Structure 1
Amino acid sequence: MNKQKLLGDTIEILGHLVSYDTTSRNSNLPLINWVETRTRGLGAVTRRIPNRDGTKANLIVSFGPLTKPGGIVLSGHTDVVPVDDQDWTSDPWTLVARDGRFYGRGTCDMKGFAACALALAPHMAEAKLTAPIHIALTYDEEIGCLGAPSLVRALGLDYAPLDCVIIGEPSDMRVVSGQKGLAVYQVEITGKAAHSSQVQQGVSAIMEAVPLLAKIYMLADQARAKAPKHSSFEPAGTTITIGVLQGGTASNILAQSCHFIFDIRFELGDDPKAYQTSIAQWVEELDAAIKLKAPEGGAVMTQRSFSPAMLPETNGKAEAMARALTGDNSMRAVAYATEGGIFQLGGLSTVICGPGSILQAHQPDEFIEMSQLQACVDFMIALVQRMRGDSGTFLS
C-alpha cells in the first residue's frame, strides 16, 4: 500500500460522504448506514447513539484492543450547513475536482477529515494496535453541538480510559489549542395584527423589535471595545451577532409576530452570562410594554444551544500527540466553536487539527485542497504507525 493509493481511497470515500445531503434539518442515517456497513466489513466494532426520536445518530467505530487504556478518538461531525440561496457553480452534493481542489458541501467542514480516517480504516483493522483507535461521528454540530454530549458520556462510561481526542475541524492541519465558546438565543415577539393605516388598533411586532435590536447592537459594540489587547483570537474578545430576523406578512399589515436569533461568541475568561442577563432583562421589559397594549402579545427569549470554550491544556496528551504527528509547535486559538469544549468537560484531553481552511467553510463552492487531504492522510499514517505494537510498516 502506498500514499498515492491512500489518497485515491480518501477521494473516493469523500465522494460518497458528500453525496449524502446531511444538512442539519435532514437525517444523517443514510451516511451512518454507509459508514457502518463499510467498517463492519473490516471487522470494526460499531456503536450507534441515536437522538430521542431515532432520526439521527452518533456513530463510534472502534479498532484494536477495546479493553486497553490509552485509546485515541478521531472526531468529526456529519452534518453540514444549508446551500439555500447560495450561488454554486456545480452540484453541491457531487464531488467535483478542479485545479487541485475538490468542491462540494462538507468537503472542508468536515467530511474531508472523516474520509481520511476511513481511508486508513483497513490498516487500523490489520495493525496490532497497542490501544484502540475510535472514529467518532456526531450529528447536529452545526446547530449547537447537540449530538456530542451523549457521545462523550458513552465514551466516558463504556470505554477503556482514553488518552486524547483529535477533532478534525478545518485548521490547515495546524494544531489548535483553544477555541471560543458559543451561546445561541432566540427572541420571539408577538404583537397584534391590524391595517397599517390604523396603528392605534394593533401592535407591530417588528416595530417593537427595532429598539431591542438597537440595544443588542450597542452591547456588541461595548463587548468589542472591551476586547483584550493581547489575544490569541481573531477577532479578539467577545462578539455578538444577529444572524436571523424574520417576521411580517405584508407592507400594509402590522406584523403579528417576528423572531430573531443571535449568538454570543466568548473568549476564554469572559462570562457570556453578563451579556445574556442584560438582553434577557430588555426582553422582559419589552414583554411588559407590549402586554399593556395587547394582552395577548409579548416577548420571550430562549436559549437554543450552548457550546463551552475549549481551554489550552498544560501538558495535554492530545496536544502532545498532534504536535508529534505534525511537527507544528506554534500556539494558536480559533474564534469558531467546535465540540472540543464538550469533550474537555467530559474529562478528555482534546485538540483541534484537521484539513482545510475555515475560510472555505459554509461558503458557496466550498472546497478542500488536494494538498490538505494529502497532509491529513500523512497524519493518519503517522498515527497508525505510532499506535502499532510492532515495528513494521504498512507502506511500500
Structure 2
Amino acid sequence: MEVADVARDLVSIPSHEREAAAGDFVEEWLREHTDATVTRDGAGAQEGRGGNVVARKGAGGTSLALVGHHDVVPPDDSQVDDGGYVVRESDGRLRGRGSADMKGAVAAALCAFRDADPPDGAELVFASFVGEEVGGVGARAAVDRGFAPDFAVVGEGSTGYSAPGVTDVAVAHKGRRGSTLVAEGSAAHASEPEAGANAIYRASDAVDVVRDLEFPETEVMGRQLSGSVAVTEIEGGSAWNVIPERCEVTVDERTVPGERAPLERTEEVAGVTWTVDQDLPPMACDDAAFADAVLTAARDAQAEEDAAAPGDGTPEHVVKPHATDAGWLADAGTTCVVCGPAEPGEAHTATESVSLAALDRCYEIYRDVAESWSG
C-alpha cells in the first residue's frame, strides 16, 4: 500500500470522540504489513480511547521513534457523511478531517516504519498516541509507563514555514500554560460600595500586573522563540446593584523552553489567587547533530522532488508556535524534532487538507532518518 492509500483509509475513520477504531486500524495494519512487535496499552481506556499503538523492530542501544497521534478535533458538518468522514482528492491534495492533523503523517510514518531497515545496533519505534488534542493523554500515559526513546521525529506540521511547499524541520516549539486568577471580595449594596470589597477592582489590578509582564523568549539553534501572555476571559458579578464578591480571569501564556512569565506576581494583589489549569510543555531539540541529520534528509527529499518539478526553497531549521506531543517526550528526556506534511492554517479547519506530494516527501524523510541515524 502506498502512503496516500493508507492515509485515505485512516482519515475516513471517525476519531474525534472515541479513537479506538482508528487505533484498531493502525494496530491491524502493522500486524499485517510488518513483522514488528506491536503493543496496545490502556491509555484513555476510561474514555473509550482505545490506547496507544506502539511497534518496535531492530535492537540495540539507540532507539529512534516516529511519533504521531490518531485522534482529531470535532469535524465540521461538511466533513461527515453517514457516520463516517468524507475523504476526497483534488488538486494534488487529500481532503478530510484529520488529513493534516495528523493522520497523513501517521500514514507516512507507518509506511516508512514498514520499509526501513534500521542500522545495526539501533531500534526503530513507531508510536501513535491517543488524546493529543485534549492535552496529551496518550503521550503522558506512555511516558508514565516508561516510553523513553532516545530520539524522536514527531510528525506534526512543519511544511511551509520557510517557503511554500517546503518541508522544514522544527527544532523547537512553544508550550501553553493556561491559568485562572480568582479575585475574592465581599458583597455589599451598590449604593454603599465602601461597605464591601469589589472583586472586579481586585481582578482589574491583577490584570494590570499581567499586562505589564514581559513576554518570555529564548533562542534554540540560532532561532528566536518568543512567548506571549494575554488575558482572554473575565467573569464576575451577580447583579447590577451588588458589589461583586468574586471575579475570575483566564490567562493564556505561550511558554518557551526554560522560561515562564512570573504570573505569581498577581497574588501580590489582595484577595487574588493564581491557579495553573493546564501546562503543555514546550520543546527544544538538545542535539544539533540529530537536528542536522533530519534536516539533511529533508533537503535530500526536497531536492529529489525539485529535480522533476523545481520548487520554491530549501528546508530550514524553524520553530513552531504550537504545542505538540514532542513537548511531553522532550520533558521526559527524549531528543525531539518536529517534521510533518501539514502547513500553517490547514489543521482544525472545515477545509482541512494535506498535500499528497508532502506526504510522499515525509515518507522519504522518515525512512532516510530511520535507516541512517544510529546516535
Q: TM-score, normalising length from structure 1?
A: 0.70
Separation in 2, partners of 1:181, 1:45: 33
- 8 Å contact kept, 1:90–1:96: no
Separation in 2, partners of 1:52, 1:189: 35
Corresponding residue to 1:322 among 294, 303, 307: 294
In the other structure, the counterpart of 2:271 is 285
Corresponding residue to 1:28 among 15, 19, 25: 19
In the other structure, the counterpart of 1:367 is 353
Structure 2 counterpart of 1:59, one-letter code: N
- 8 Å contact kept, 1:9–1:119: no
In the other structure, the counterpart of 1:164 is 151
Structure 1 residue matching 2:226: 3-state secondary structure: coil
Structure 2 residue matching 1:313: 3-state secondary structure: coil
- 8 Å contact kept, 2:65–2:152: yes
Would you say 1:91 and 2:80 are equivalent positions? Answer: yes
In the other structure, the counterpart of 1:135 is 126
Change in CA separation of 1:262 and 1:82 when aligned onto 2, cut-off 3 Å: farther
Note the alpha carbon deviations across 1:357-395, whole angstroms, 9 max, x for none.
13222333222122221211222343455479xxxxxxx
Corresponding residue to 1:346 among 329, 332, 355: 332
Shift in Å, 1:89: 5.1
Shift in Å, 1:258: 7.6
Separation in 2, partners of 1:94, 1:253: 52
Shift in Å, 1:168: 0.8
Structure 1 counterpart of 2:278, one-letter code: S
Shift in Å, 1:113: 0.8
Separation in 2, partners of 1:387, 1:312: 16
Structure 1 residue matching 2:55: 3-state secondary structure: strand
Corresponding residue to 1:263 among 248, 252, 255: 252
Separation in 2, partners of 1:150, 1:139: 10
Shift in Å, 1:351: 0.9
Would you say 1:376 and 2:345 are equivalent positions? Answer: no
Give 1:300-339 correspondences, 5 Å limit.
301-317=274-290, 319-327=291-299, 330-339=316-325
Would you say 1:64 and 2:61 are equivalent positions? Answer: no
Shift in Å, 1:151: 1.4
Q: Which runs of 5+ in 1 are unaligned?
A: 202-206, 287-299, 389-396
Structure 1 counterpart of 2:99, one-letter code: T
Shift in Å, 1:62: 1.8
Q: Which runs of 5+ in 2 are unaligned?
A: 160-166, 193-197, 300-313
Shift in Å, 1:352: 1.0
Separation in 1, partners of 2:284, 2:219: 19
- 8 Å contact kept, 1:6–1:377: no
Q: CA RMSD in A?
A: 4.0
- 8 Å contact kept, 2:100–2:346: yes
Separation in 2, partners of 1:68, 1:326: 25
In the other structure, the counterpart of 1:118 is 110
Shift in Å, 1:122: 3.9
Separation in 2, partners of 1:210, 1:34: 54
Shift in Å, 1:166: 0.5
In the other structure, the counterpart of 2:140 is 149
Structure 2 residue matching 1:119: 3-state secondary structure: helix
- 8 Å contact kept, 2:109–2:366: yes
- 8 Å contact kept, 1:44–1:61: no
Separation in 2, partners of 1:38, 1:100: 25
- 8 Å contact kept, 1:164–1:349: yes
Change in CA separation of 1:102 and 1:186 when aligned onto 2, cut-off 3 Å: farther
In the other structure, the counterpart of 1:185 is 179
- 8 Å contact kept, 1:176–1:333: yes
Structure 1 counterpart of 2:88, one-letter code: V
- 8 Å contact kept, 2:89–2:95: yes
Separation in 2, partners of 1:112, 1:104: 10
Change in CA separation of 1:228 and 1:174 when aligned onto 2, cut-off 3 Å: closer
In the other structure, the counterpart of 1:13 is 9
Separation in 1, partners of 2:96, 2:201: 38
Structure 1 counterpart of 2:110, one-letter code: L
- 8 Å contact kept, 2:100–2:341: yes
Structure 1 counterpart of 2:227, one-letter code: T
- 8 Å contact kept, 2:168–2:317: no
Separation in 1, partners of 2:110, 2:332: 25
Separation in 2, partners of 1:341, 1:363: 23
Q: TM-score, normalising length from structure 2?
A: 0.73
Structure 2 residue matching 1:32: 3-state secondary structure: helix
Structure 2 residue matching 1:333: 3-state secondary structure: strand
- 8 Å contact kept, 1:13–1:118: no
Separation in 2, partners of 1:377, 1:169: 13
Structure 2 residue matching 1:185: 3-state secondary structure: strand
Q: Identity over aligned residues, as a percent?
A: 21
